[in-house]
Amino acid sequence: MKTENTIQTPNHSLATEVPVSRTKAVSVVAILIAIGAVLRMFSPNIMGITPNFVIAMYCLSIILMRPKFSGAIGIGIVAGAVSMIFSKSPIPALNLVTEPAGALACLLVVRYLPEIAFKKYTFKPIFATLIGTLVSGALYVVINFQVALKLPLEAMQATFIGVVVPVALINAIMSQALYAPVKKFMRF
């Protein structure tokens, strides 16, 4: 039995639905998260910051696939499990909480932010990925600093501004740059 998901693709201000097989949807998500994991594994620290390309890729998959809420949470759980492998946190399992939250935030932006486009070029990927990364990163910093490390608020704020915000900007730019070519390649 073949089930299909529907993907809403931007067509200026109107959304059209494109049927996508469940197998293709799962494959796209798996490939993008795997690419993010490889990039994260081999990317060098930039001024002490390791970009989290797993977040950029799961946001890109959510932007492309437009899953249901349960699907976005599932994507976040898978991304969290993959992120645990590379985590430098004293609590690697924290990724199983933060990534689903980031994925859900990304989906909310994709679903409810009005279309922002110039001609046929949408800018929704940059906003969805930025918000998804900020939510995931903020939750990660708050829980990690309050539960595991018990550090003062100033340290938490410095980490958010010095690490989470730059990573969110890198992820947002990467997702925006990859959206059109990946969409064209995947024939959405």
Residue 173 tokens, joined = 């730019």
CATH number where 29 lies: 1.10.1760.20
> Average pLDDT of 12-27?
62
d(CA 170, CA 23): 30
User: What are the tens digits of pLDDT across the range 150-181?
Assistant: 889 999 999 999 999 999 999 999 999 999 99
Ordered DSSP codes for 146-183: IIII---HHHHHHHIIIIIHHHHHHHHHHHHHHHHHHH
Q: For residues 175 and 63, what is the distance between their CA atoms, to the nearest angstrom?
A: 9
Q: How far is CA 5 from the centre of its chain?
A: 20
pLDDT per position as a tens digit, 103-141: 999 999 999 999 888 888 899 999 999 999 999 999 999
Question: Residue 188 — pLDDT band, cuts 50, 70, 90?
Answer: low
To the nearest whole percent, how much of the chain has pLDDT over 90? 61
**CA-closest candidate to residue 37, choices 81, 96, 77, 102:** 81
Q: Please determine, for residue 11, whether its predicted confidence score (pLDDT) is greater than 50.
A: no
Which residues span the domain enclosing 17?
4-186
- C-alpha 97/C-alpha 81 separation (Å) is 10
Q: How many domains is the chain partitioned into structurally?
A: 1
23: exposed, middle or buried (Cβ count in 10 Å: 0-12, 13-18, 19+) = exposed
pLDDT tens-digit map of 146-155: 888 888 999 9
